[in-house]
Chains A and B, each alone.
Chain A
Amino acid sequence: MELYELTVHELIEKLEKGEITSEEITKSYFERIKEKDGQVKAYVSILEEQAMTNAKQVDCDRKAGKMLSKFAGIPIGIKDNVCVTGTRTTCSSKMLENFVAPYNATVIEKLKAEDIICLGKLNMDEFAMGSSTETSAFFPTHNPWDLTRVPGGSSGGSAAAVASDMAPWALGSDTGGSIRQPASLCGVVGLKPTYGLVSRFGLIAYASSLDQIGPLTKDVTDSAILLNLIAGHDPKDTTSMEYEKKDYKGSLINDVKGMKIGVPKEYLGEGTSAEVKEAMFKVIKKYQELGAIVEECSLDVGQYASAVYYILACAEASSNLGRFDGIRYGYRTEKFENLRDIYKNSRSEGFGTEVKRRIILGTYVLSSGYYDAYYKKAQKVRTMIKNAYAELFKKYDLLLSPVSPTTAFKISEKMNDPLQMYLADICTVPVNIGGLPGMSIPCDVDSEGLPIGFQLIAKPFAEETIFRAAFTYEQNTNFREEHKPTFK
């Protein structure tokens, strides 16, 4: 078995035993990247030189008997909307193509404190707007299970890198499903933590009230380990909660007996493909076998979640992306005679179609005369959705649903049909609207061998419940052993 095929907890074990060095691990990833990234195209920037230097330093320190974190020398891939000092942070946009971040995101500070090594920055939909990684201004990323298909998005680079063993784990961000949907389409584990659990400082904002950074990993154990590393209140982000620090690894218990799981019937209806439905029923059956109580329930108001999402997210984005104006940093047009031209042409040339679409949509819904009908109403429905979830969680420990109504679609299949693309988020968006934690766990493949994930949703700050149920499922099934990306 190659080093790059191991999970992080396996790598840590070998590092601790002194069987391998950080240099060997890191090198194996760069070799793998050289071998596969030409096809997959997950990375926007590869930080080989710096990573190798850091890996050697860690090995040196470890040899010298220095007190090091047990994660020291473990590599990671980072979605390219998370700022890393001195490296390009592009959001896969022409607007920030040459933007070098002058500071570290809080999550990066936390990883650096453990001497975790950054392999590179991962492709995404431009400014995290999309569900296929095709809106990247640079190139689309390909799904390692079928290179003619999308990896999902917007954290498609992160999911594809982990799925193709080009990173042992990665950070993504999730605003409406951007971690879970690509995780599902690429057959890896993706967690969107509760809003407020992980600091957003240094995450280039798409929709501030929905964005959350989270782990994409090969298995549930790694997900818990990475969440342990990045969670916690940050004084630089007032929306991050002061919450008691938990050890999520402690929740990795192989037992769901008596756990109550609700399955909202709305997500197993018409829009969901037969194969995805079938996979869900198999998961439900498995949980029942393992002693959980699974019941059908209803989240009727969830049908409005997509409308609410596209109003609120676009409204916030229209304001958040105003700073990309060609004045201080980022792309500036060469064609200008006055200030208005600088703004108009820099933004017209620097942003892609989908970003412009959402800025226009957001500007519209915030305009005077429309604010009440759209933004304000959407906020009210958001509260209704939160309340509906709260009601369900009085009864259930977890909710279970598909992550994506279909498996990975073909590249360019939906690019000209934004509404179809928006429907790819239909099962994940409500979770962001509710501010809840949600995880995608791979469970099956369809008739074409494309992975299917199921979603577990818990009440706010109850990630441990998700970890326990996901771990139990993983321990009693064999997805990773039975299915591997084929690069066909």
Chain B
Amino acid sequence: MSKQDYEIVIGLEVHCELSTKTKIFCSCSAEFGGEPNTHCCPICMAMPGTLPVLNEKVVEYAVKAGLATNCKIAQNSKNDRKNYFYPDLPKSYQISQFDIPLCYDGYINIETEEGEKKIRLERIHIEEDAGKLNHDDYGRGSFVDLNRAGVPLIECVSKPDLRSKEEVDSYLRKIKSIFEYIGISDCKMQEGSLRADVNVSVRKKGATEFGTRTEMKNMNSFRNISRLIEYETNRQIEVLEEGGEIIQETRRWDDISGKTFSMRDKEDAEDYRYFPDPDLVAIQLSDEYIEKIRNALPELPESRKKRYLEEYQLIPKAANFVTSSKYYSDMFEEAIKICQNPKTASNLMMSEIARILNEREEEPEQIPFTGRELGELVQLIDKGTISSSISKKVLEELFENPKSAPSKIIEEKGWVQISDEGAIQEVVNKILQANPQSIADYRAGKDRALGFLVGQAMKETKGKANPQLLNKLFIEELKK
């Protein structure tokens, strides 16, 4: 049997740090970073005798996340203790939710090659993050930094509905964009505010039972998640093909080798001894409370997409792309306010901005300039001040110097389009003289020859010639 005979089954647990001002159980700052142990107090350092008080914003944000992902909301929920020892966990238990999560039974729709697909969500619950261990480079030991201890998280658990790394990518991007749209998290993967535990298994196509799964924790890059799935599914298929068995375990992903490794040093299946936290009262939510949050939800990607298709007449591919990230979508809306040209704005984003981000291995939230600059750039194209080929160079420049205006960039760089008919006529004449064969080809009915000549002229003018004018003059000359 071969790889094609297997089906990949993936479920994700996405951990997302909420962007509340304060931590989940005390009033310390929940901001990322800071000198070690400066965002802490007796409560998040687990000094004896301290008690947690649940930050209501955390509940509100989690309910928002639940409503935006079509979840049911538990009106009677609670906090549970998950007990285990680790130096980054000061209380020796994490306050989480065990059997009654705040949100449950939801779904989101993702785009796949075969069209829209529904991915079911099992639950979303609230919990606290742990601290961080900094290992000393000189071997003098490990240092505990509790700045992150008590930063609020939601954990969003999908059903094992994902069937390929592409679907996983699409799902993650969708979850990320939804959380960005509703403003509950900045979802910065590079800072670890969005990370995923990936559960992977394979089974023969047509099988009804799931295969044994392995879990890779704390993945925080789209690229590595794709690499991981590729590697781990191949590994599992190989093991099975050789007659082996998959062991249910947590495996460690290694960025450099691109492989997963069994973590045999880890203790046997831990027993977390979950029980309701007696320091916290039950979480009770009224219908009014939930409805109030529902009514205050901002416009979600689905609805924006619909609007872009109908109002702006974007093609589905462009509408999907622009709404795939709140940063894209906000940038787009800001740009078209200035340029009133949704088509060109979305095209530039889809082709050029996406390409540059990809080259830089960055995410939309890392685009250093705003929709203002993009809108102005489109305006410059529409006015004929620059050609679309120059616009690519302007975008590249904007990534480097985000503070300068596109009009200033083209002025400084001398990229203004040549629209002077006399000047272009000169270039046309020069190119025609140098390419008699192309003239003959064109006259013999080969239209492609015109494209070649225009290309040569563009090269000659470093892309600054007005392409419409160039076309017009070439045709006039060739028809003479």
CB distance from B100 to the nearest CB of A (A): 14
| Interface members, chain B 233-286 (any A CB < 8 Å) | 271, 273-275, 278-281
Query: Please, which residues of chain A bring their CB within 8 A of the CB of B46?
Result: 323, 328
Query: Please, which residues of chain A bring their CB within 8 A of the CB of B91?
Result: 322-323
Q: Which of B49-57, B66-74, B208-216, B309-317 contacts A (4 or more CB under 8 A)?
A: B49-57
Query: Please, which residues of chain B bring their CB within 8 A of the CB of A360?
Result: none
CB distance from B46 to the nearest CB of A (A): 5
B445 within 8 Å of A (CB atoms): no
Task: Known contacts A363-B273, A366-B275; decide if A105 and B87 are in contact (CB<8 Å).
Answer: no
Q: Report the bound CA distance from A238 to B275 in whole Å.
A: 18
CB-nearest residue of chain B to A196: B281
Q: Report the bound CA distance from A319 to B51 in whole Å.
A: 14
Q: Report the bound CA distance from A99 to B49 in whole Å.
A: 12
CB-nearest residue of chain B to A323: B46
Contact B279 A208 (CB under 8 A): yes
Contact B271 A368 (CB under 8 A): yes
CB distance from B390 to the nearest CB of A (A): 60
Contact A102 B47 (CB under 8 A): yes
Task: Known contacts A200-B51, A238-B54; decide if A323 and B90 are in contact (CB<8 Å).
Answer: yes
Contact residues on A (Cβ < 8 Å of other chain), bracket: 35 or more
Task: Known contacts A105-B49, A319-B83, A323-B46; decide if A239 and B279 are in contact (CB<8 Å).
Answer: yes
Contact A202 B49 (CB under 8 A): yes
| Interface members, chain A 209-259 (any B CB < 8 Å) | 209, 235-239
- Find B49's partner among A201, A327, A367 (CB 8 Å cutoff): A201
CB-nearest residue of chain A to B271: A368
Contact B42 A103 (CB under 8 A): yes
CB distance from B195 to the nearest CB of A (A): 24
A139 within 8 Å of B (CB atoms): no
Query: Please, which residues of chain B bring their CB within 8 A of the CB of A327?
Result: 87, 90, 144
Task: Known contacts A102-B47, A363-B273, A366-B275; decide if A322 and B83 are in contact (CB<8 Å).
Answer: yes
CB distance from A126 to the nearest CB of B (A): 13
CB-nearest residue of chain A to B277: A208
Contact A328 B90 (CB under 8 A): yes
| Interface members, chain B 78-135 (any A CB < 8 Å) | 81, 83, 85, 87, 90-93
Query: Please, which residues of chain A bring their CB within 8 A of the CB of B345?
Result: none
Q: Report the bound CA distance from A314 to B42 in whole Å.
A: 24
A161 within 8 Å of B (CB atoms): no
Contact B45 A328 (CB under 8 A): yes
Interface flags for B282-313 (1: CB within 8 Å of A; 0: not) read: 00000000000000000000000000000000
Q: Report the bound CA distance from A324 to B51 in whole Å.
A: 16
CB-nearest residue of chain A to B82: A319
Contact A325 B85 (CB under 8 A): yes
Query: Please, which residues of chain B bring their CB within 8 A of the CB of A204?
Result: 48-49
Contact B53 A367 (CB under 8 A): no
Q: Report the bound CA distance from A103 to B271 in whole Å.
A: 33
Contact B271 A367 (CB under 8 A): yes
Query: Please, which residues of chain B bring their CB within 8 A of the CB of A329?
Result: 47-48
Contact B275 A83 (CB under 8 A): no
Interface flags for A295-325 (1: CB within 8 Å of B; 0: not) read: 0000000000000000000011011001111
Contact B48 A319 (CB under 8 A): no
CB distance from A308 to the nearest CB of B (A): 14
Query: Please, which residues of chain A bring their CB within 8 A of the CB of B83?
Result: 318-319, 322, 366
Contact B273 A319 (CB under 8 A): yes
Contact B48 A323 (CB under 8 A): yes
Known pairs A239-B279, A322-B85, A343-B85 / 6 extra A-B pairs, C-beta < 8 Å: A83-B47, A89-B48, A204-B48, A205-B48, A319-B83, A322-B83
4 interchain residue pairs of minimum CB distance: A322-B92, A209-B278, A366-B273, A208-B278
Q: List 9 A-B contacts (CB under 8 A).
A: A208-B278, A236-B51, A237-B51, A239-B280, A316-B278, A318-B273, A323-B48, A325-B92, A328-B90
- Enumerate chain A interface residues (CB-CB to B < 8 A): 81-83, 89, 91, 96, 99, 101-103, 105, 200-205, 207-209, 235-239, 315-316, 318-319, 322-325, 327-329, 339, 343, 363, 366-368, 371, 375
